[in-house]
A and B are shown apart, each in its own frame.
Chain A
C-alpha cells in the first residue's frame, strides 16, 4: 500500500513539474584563475599589444574621462577600483571584456568578487570594440608612468 501511495505522489510531482524547463544549475563559478591567464568572458579572446600607440591612447583618455571617470579615478579607490596599474593586474582581454560585457563578467570569478567588494555594478556604457581598445591603450600608457 505504501508503495502505491508513493508511486501516486511521484506521478503527481512529475505531472506538475512537466511544464518547467530545466536549466543547468551551477554554471557560474567562483574560481580564482591566475590573472596572468584569465581573459574573462566575452567577445575578446585575444588582443595584440605592441608599442604604445599615442593617437589611440589619447582617444582612449578622452573616452575614459567622458564615460568612465564618474566611477573610476586614477589616483584613488572610488565607486569602482582605481585604474592605476590595471594593466599590471589584468590582461588586456580581461579589461576589454569587462568594459564590453560587464553584465556577464560579474557573474563569476574575479569580476564577481569585485562586485561583492564594491557593491556597485560595473556599468555598461555601450562602447564599441575599438573604443574599449583605445581605453586599454590609455591604461597601458598611464601605467608606464612612475
Chain B
C-alpha cells in the first residue's frame, strides 16, 4: 500500500464516522445524547417502572424507563390465554359481573396507592369503562387480586384515582343513565338520568375495596378526576361535560354552552352525612371478585345494595366550578392548591385555586345553582389561565420544580408551563396526537421529575408498516433541563391510554419470587409427589397432579371414559425462582395453564373421542423439557377399564 492510498483510506473512514454521527444534517441520537439517556445496557436495570394501561386490550403492561423495555402484561379485564387468566377454573370468577361472565374490558387509568400523598408502591388500581369495574393489582405478585363492579354507572371513566392515604378510590360515571335502570324513552334524559360518583373505601392493611357510598349527581358526563392533597385533602374534583344533557349527536349538542363544570366533592362532608344516617340504601346487584393468594383461587360475592347520597338535598357536599369548553383533564398540582381543567375546545388552560374556592364558598359567591348544587363564580375561583398554549389541551402532570406539562391532542405537542405565573416555558412536538402524559409520581405530592412519557393515539410513519393496523406507541422525554428533550420512541400494547410510574426501588424489594408450598391452601393441591392421585366421582375425574423438572406425576392415566369431565389440578412443586411449568391437553377447549412455583391451577378436559391422548409441558423448563409429557387413555363410555395412574410404571399410591 502506498502513502496516497493510506491517506484516502483514513479520509474515507473519518468521513464515515462523522457521517454516522450527523446523518443528513440532522443530529443523530448519539450526537445529541439521546441514546445515552434512554439506553440501559444489557444486564442493567431500569430506574423506573411504568404501568401503562392497555385501553381496549383491557390489560395493564409493565415497562422499564428509560429503556421502554416491556416486562409483563398483567391480565386484568380480558382473558389471557398465555397465562390462563380467565380460562383456568381459579381465575374465571374474576370476570364475573351482574351481566354474567365478560371476557373483555377497556382499561384506562392506573393509579398507585399513596401514603401521606406519596407513592407507596403497594397496589395499583385501574378502571374498566365498558362494564363499570375497578381492579386492584398487588404489586408484590403483579397479579390482579380484586375486581369490584360499580352499580348505577356506565362508561366508568372518571376513575380510578386514590386519595392521599388511599382512603378511597373513586369511580365516576361517564354516561348519565336512568337510576335505577328502567324502560323509558331516551328523549326523557334531561332531568331524569343520573350520574353516580362512587367512593370505594380501601382497607389500609389488605387493600380490599368496598363501596362506601355513591353521590347521585345530575346526569352530566363525568370525564376525569383527581384528589385534593395537602390543604385540599378531603376534596375530590371531577370534570364534567354535556351539562347540556344532550342524548344525541353530542359532538355538536354537548358543546352548546360556553362553560361546563368541575365538580368539587367534599368527601369528608360525605362521611359526616353517612355517619348521620343521611344516606339511603338502594337495592341493586353487583359482583365483588377476590383472588386469594393462599388458595390460588378467586371467589365472587354478590352485593345487594348501595348507600346513596343526594347532593341536591345535602348542603356543602358538592360545588360546581365553571370551566370553559368541555374540560377533559382534571389535575391537581403537588401542593394541592391548583386544579387544572383542560377545556378540550378552549383556547386556554383554566387553573382554579383551592384557597379562592374555599373563600368563595365561605362568602357564598354563587352564580346560581344547578339541580340545587351551588355554582361558584368563575372569577372568584380562577387562579389564572395559560394563554394560547396550543390546541386541544387534554392532560397535565407536574414535576418537583413548580412546572406543569400539558398534552395537546390537536396540535400534537407537549407544553411545559410554570405554575403561579402560567407562562409557557417550552413546547415539543409529539408523534402524533398525544393523549395522556405521565411523570412518575406526577399526580402526587412528590413527583420524580426526570422523565415524561407521552402516550400517542396515532403513529403512522414512525415505525415499519404492518398493514392497516400499525403499532401503538409511547415517547419518552428527558425533563431535567429547562427545555424538554425527546429521547426515545417505543412500541406498546394497545392502547397506551394512561400510565403510572414509580421508582423501581419502591417496588422491586417487595417482589415475590415463589409461592411457598406449605402456604398453599388450594383444595386440590398436592404438597409432594406422594400425594398425587386420581379420584373418580361419578362422571367427574379429579387428577391431583404434581410437576417438577421435568415430569408430571402421574404421567400415565387409564380408565377415563368418553363423557367424563376430567379436572387437571396441577401443582408446581418447584420452590425455585423463575421455574414455572405449563401444561396443555390435546382437544381441551381452553387455554394452557402456566403455573408458578408453589401454585396450583386447574383446567377441565371433556374427552370426546376414544384413544390415547397426550399432554405436555408448554413452558420450556429445562434441558429435558421436551421429555416432559404423558398420556391419558380414553375408553368408550360404559367400558370397564379400571382407573389406573402411574409414574415410571409404578402406581402412585
Chain A residues engaging chain B, CB cutoff 8 angstroms: 1, 4-5, 8, 65-67, 69-71, 78-79, 119-121, 123-127
How would residues 616 to 649 of chain B score, 1 for a CB under 8 Å from any chain A CB and 0 otherwise?
0000001110000000000000000000000010
For window 509-568 of B, CB contacts with A under 8 Å fall at: 514, 517, 527-530, 546, 548-551, 553
Using A65-B530, A66-B528 as known contacts, say yes or no to A123 and B3 having CB atoms under 8 A apart.
no
Q: Is the CB of B622 within 8 A of A120?
A: yes
Kindly list chain A residues whose C-beta atoms are within 8 Å of the C-beta of B553: 70
| B98 proximal to A (CB < 8 A) | no
C-alpha spacing A120/B576, complex, angstroms:
14
Using A79-B551, A124-B576 as known contacts, say yes or no to A119 and B1 having CB atoms under 8 A apart.
no
Q: Is the CB of A66 within 8 A of B517?
A: yes
Q: Is the CB of B514 within 8 A of A70?
A: no
Kindly list chain B residues whose C-beta atoms are within 8 Å of the C-beta of A119: 623-624
| B6 proximal to A (CB < 8 A) | yes
Selected from B550, B575, B624, the residue in CB contact (under 8 A) with A125 is B575
Q: Is the CB of B546 within 8 A of A70?
A: yes
C-alpha spacing A65/B529, complex, angstroms:
8
Q: Is the CB of B624 within 8 A of A123?
A: no
Using A66-B517, A79-B551 as known contacts, say yes or no to A123 and B579 having CB atoms under 8 A apart.
yes
Q: Is the CB of A120 within 8 A of B528?
A: no
C-alpha spacing A86/B90, complex, angstroms:
41
Shortest Cβ distance from B17 into chain A, in angstroms?
11
Kindly list chain A residues whose C-beta atoms are within 8 Å of the C-beta of B6: 1, 4-5
Shortest Cβ distance from A97 into chain B, in angstroms?
16
Q: Is the CB of B528 within 8 A of A70?
A: yes
| B330 proximal to A (CB < 8 A) | no
Kindly list chain A residues whose C-beta atoms are within 8 Å of the C-beta of B528: 65-67, 69-70
C-alpha spacing A120/B577, complex, angstroms:
16
Selected from A66, A79, A123, the residue in CB contact (under 8 A) with B574 is A123
| B573 proximal to A (CB < 8 A) | yes
A-B pairs, 3 with minimum CB distance? A70-B548, A125-B575, A66-B528
Shortest Cβ distance from A2 into chain B, in angstroms?
8
Kindly list chain A residues whose C-beta atoms are within 8 Å of the C-beta of B579: 123
Closest partner residue, chain A, to B573 (CB atom): A70
C-alpha spacing A126/B2, complex, angstroms:
67
Kindly list chain A residues whose C-beta atoms are within 8 Å of the C-beta of B2: 1
- Secondary structure class of chain B's binding surface, majority of residues: loop
Number of A-B contacts (CB under 8 A): 61
C-alpha spacing A8/B5, complex, angstroms:
14
Apart from A69-B529, A78-B648, A120-B549, 19 more pairs, CB < 8 Å? A1-B1, A65-B530, A67-B528, A67-B573, A69-B528, A69-B530, A70-B528, A70-B546, A71-B548, A79-B548, A79-B551, A120-B624, A121-B623, A123-B549, A124-B575, A124-B576, A125-B574, A125-B575, A126-B577
A65, A119, A125 interface centre (most CB from chain B within 10 Å) = A125
Kindly list chain B residues whose C-beta atoms are within 8 Å of the C-beta of A126: 514, 575-577
Closest partner residue, chain B, to A73 (CB atom): B648
C-alpha spacing A71/B553, complex, angstroms:
11
Q: Is the CB of A70 within 8 A of B529?
A: yes
Closest partner residue, chain A, to B532 (CB atom): A70
Q: Is the CB of B549 within 8 A of A67?
A: no
How would residues 98 to 112 of chain B score, 1 for a CB under 8 Å from any chain A CB and 0 otherwise?
000000000000000
5 contacts between A and B (CB under 8 A): A1-B3, A66-B527, A70-B548, A120-B549, A123-B575
Using A70-B548, A126-B575 as known contacts, say yes or no to A5 and B517 having CB atoms under 8 A apart.
no
Closest partner residue, chain B, to A65 (CB atom): B528
Closest partner residue, chain B, to A76 (CB atom): B648
Q: Is the CB of A121 within 8 A of B575?
A: no
Closest partner residue, chain B, to A121 (CB atom): B622
Q: Is the CB of B575 within 8 A of A67?
A: yes
Q: Is the CB of B623 within 8 A of A125?
A: no
Q: Is the CB of A123 within 8 A of B1?
A: no
Kindly list chain A residues whose C-beta atoms are within 8 Å of the C-beta of B575: 67, 123-127
Kindly list chain B residues whose C-beta atoms are within 8 Å of the C-beta of A65: 528, 530
Using A69-B528, A69-B530 as known contacts, say yes or no to A123 and B548 having CB atoms under 8 A apart.
yes
Closest partner residue, chain A, to B574 (CB atom): A123
Closest partner residue, chain B, to A124 (CB atom): B576
C-alpha spacing A125/B574, complex, angstroms:
6
Kindly list chain B residues whose C-beta atoms are within 8 Å of the C-beta of A67: 517, 528, 573, 575
Q: Is the CB of A79 within 8 A of B549?
A: yes
C-alpha spacing A4/B576, complex, angstroms:
56
Kindly list chain A residues whose C-beta atoms are within 8 Å of the C-beta of B623: 119-121
Closest partner residue, chain A, to B5 (CB atom): A1
How would residues 355 to 399 of chain B score, 1 for a CB under 8 Å from any chain A CB and 0 otherwise?
000000000000000000000000000000000000000000000
C-alpha spacing A120/B579, complex, angstroms:
13
Kindly list chain A residues whose C-beta atoms are within 8 Å of the C-beta of B577: 124, 126
Q: Is the CB of A120 within 8 A of B550?
A: yes
How would residues 1 to 21 of chain B score, 1 for a CB under 8 Å from any chain A CB and 0 otherwise?
111001000100000000000
C-alpha spacing A119/B576, complex, angstroms:
18
Kindly list chain B residues whose C-beta atoms are within 8 Å of the C-beta of A79: 548-551
Shortest Cβ distance from A119 into chain B, in angstroms?
5
Shortest Cβ distance from B513 into chain A, in angstroms?
8
C-alpha spacing A34/B150, complex, angstroms:
69
How would residues 581 to 623 of chain B score, 1 for a CB under 8 Å from any chain A CB and 0 otherwise?
0000000000000000000000000000000000000000011
Kindly list chain A residues whose C-beta atoms are within 8 Å of the C-beta of B648: 78
Kindly list chain B residues whose C-beta atoms are within 8 Å of the C-beta of A4: 6
Closest partner residue, chain A, to B530 (CB atom): A65
Q: Is the CB of B576 within 8 A of A125?
A: yes
Closest partner residue, chain B, to A63 (CB atom): B528
Kindly list chain A residues whose C-beta atoms are within 8 Å of the C-beta of B514: 126
Shortest Cβ distance from A44 into chain B, in angstroms?
19
Kindly list chain B residues whose C-beta atoms are within 8 Å of the C-beta of A71: 548-549
Closest partner residue, chain B, to A71 (CB atom): B548
C-alpha spacing A126/B648, complex, angstroms:
27
C-alpha spacing A70/B547, complex, angstroms:
8
B527, B550, B576, B623 interface centre (most CB from chain A within 10 Å) = B576
For window 32-53 of B, CB contacts with A under 8 Å fall at: none
Kindly list chain B residues whose C-beta atoms are within 8 Å of the C-beta of A120: 549-550, 622-624
Shortest Cβ distance from B649 into chain A, in angstroms?
12
Shortest Cβ distance from A135 into chain B, in angstroms?
14
C-alpha spacing A61/B407, complex, angstroms:
64
C-alpha spacing A52/B445, complex, angstroms:
61
For window 485-527 of B, CB contacts with A under 8 Å fall at: 514, 517, 527
C-alpha spacing A124/B575, complex, angstroms:
7
Shortest Cβ distance from A117 into chain B, in angstroms?
12
